[in-house]
Structure 1
Amino acid sequence: MLKLLASYNKEVDAVVLDNAPQNAIYTSPSIQKEILHVFARKVQNEIRNEIGNAKFCLIVDEARDESRREQMALVVRFVDKHGFVKERLIDVVHVKDTTSATLKQEICSALSHHNLNIQNVRGQGYDGASNMRGEWKGLQALIIQECPYAYYVHCFAHQLQLALVAAAKEVVDVHAFFQSLSNIINVVCSSCKRNDELRSAYATEISHLVATNQIETGRGANQIGTLKRSGDTRWSSHFNSICSLLRMFGATTSGRFGY
């Protein structure tokens, strides 16, 4: 990034990397984070200016990151001054839990930080979890208490995925297949011991295939994983679940698990 910036600006090039005075090359972790925060604030300010005084909708979801910290993504949907509908990720906030009260508090804090008035909210788009869509104590209900025009709409992606799953279950063969797939994953992954046995069997299979030159090797190839569960509201999760079983089919049918 510094090389890219230096290539576009002679003044920057004169004070970074090899040309940095007093060895101030600005590549330490703390400086890198500070630079990223500066970039983030610049982008957020541009988004805020783009919104202006327009009414907007909230799109919110939360998930755990690699460090197992719960993170809430806050997206605003609005119509700009040229009449185009825009969606902008305005913030990612760490939340201590996913209760509706905590999420509402963090959303209000984030909106206030960006000088956005919650009274200008005209829509809410969340998933179908009880803490989000609850009629009395859900996040959408708490927001409506402060802004009665902020109508809640269940995430269309989730609705479509649920509709596809429900339609697929009406096909007997498809339903039976995924039921069997779910049973296999539950038997193997519900036990730490069986999961370790699966990994061991798969590692043995990979070693044999490598020794007999039946698969290619390389950095990042042939990673030892486990079977993946499918979720009714997660896009591509059924496909990924099938792929994981195909990849580890030999280890799964090795006789240790009865399949």
Structure 2
Amino acid sequence: MEKWEKLRNPNQYIERRIHQQTEKEKKQNRLLVMTSIESVKWLALQGCAFRGHDESTESTNRGNFIELIKSHGRANNEIDDVVLEKAAKNAKYTSPVDESHNEQMAIILRYVDSDGFVRERFFEVVSVKDTNALTLKKEICVVLRQYNLLITNLQGQGYDGASNMRGEWNGLQALFLRECPSAYYVHCFAHRLQLALVVVAKDRAGATRWSSHFASVKRFIEMFGSTCTLLENLINEGSNNSIRGEAKGALKVMKTFDFAFILLLMHEVLEKSDILCQALQMKDQDILNAMHFVSSTKLLLQEMCDDRWESFIWYVVEFCRSNDIDVPELTDRYMDGTRRSCQQKNNITVEDYYHFQIFNAVIDFQLMELNNRFMEKTIELLKLYEALNPTDRFKSFSIDAICGLAEEFYPLDFNKEEIPDLKRQLDHYKFDVIRNP
């Protein structure tokens, strides 16, 4: 009778049970897909990387995409039950490895439309066999030809700061310039500054990992004494040998004159570049003002190299004394390596070593990087372009600057006979644009 009753119950019918199970799976799958889509949309909107360095289940940080999925799961138990390791093996919507085995290049066009508005549009993604400059140029040319776009009409080009892109002789920008002299290369100035500062920070600061973060270095100096006290407490009271050992090693390094000298030197160098860094990261960036900051930053660094050694070394010595750091006798002979006299190649003092081989070397290297990243021709080009900036009713409008721009940078578009004609037209335009902006 019991079996008969179950058979008479419609909810026990096989097709009904299958249907119920299917509906449940559909709901879970939709929840999983929607969670993945929302995560992708958020990361794309914020311009964040998807992948992580270590996406294994043992990793404490599995990358932005997976960590965002996990965050959704912590906020909603229904989501937590269907994502990542709890999802079906064929429907995790994650990849254990980077499935893109080929190099890819994204092409974006920036142009002026028929109404005079500047537009920027994603154009195409192209697979390339390698990232050699010649290969990239060939592929870009193929794409442009497909749409009947002439290379000779290029008026600018922009890439990242990799050597295969920005190389003066064989970089991608140089290859296009040979065919189109007006296609000037401009690399994001905020990124240029970051690269210039990071190179110096890595070269001298080693594993400190402060990079170009001036605020972090400044704060660390302010809390130097407290940090040393904390490390001393960990050495005495750490919960295990590993923590006590790491604290002892860190404190030993921090309590050296070398560490203090480089820490304070990086602070001084980054401080000189901080205003430029802020100016370049502003959303409504004033190009002319930013270019002035590039020039003034170089002058400040050069002045520091020429005239600030005495005040800087006094600052370092005082810092060391206030933090119980041994200060070497600056007039003693500098001893390298094992400090044996027979191994010393140069007869220089301790002060000479820190002055010329570290202080001057770091500043010179920083100046070299800034000069390489912020080439004078590019700076001059952008200064002249500022004359076309419509901000504040064309406040920066300058006939001389525009004529100079045409004469110096676009000789193929404006010959010498046309420059006077351009000037006369701009005389009229100046009054018209201010009255009818």
Q: TM-score range by the shorter chain?
A: 0.3 to 0.5
**Higher Rg:** 2
Task: Give the alignment's TM-score, normalised by structure 2.
Answer: 0.24
TM-score, with structure 1 as normaliser? 0.40
Larger strand proportion, structure 1 or 2?
Answer: 1
Higher relative contact order (CA closer than 8 Å, sequence separation 6+): 1
Structure with the bigger percentage of helix: 2
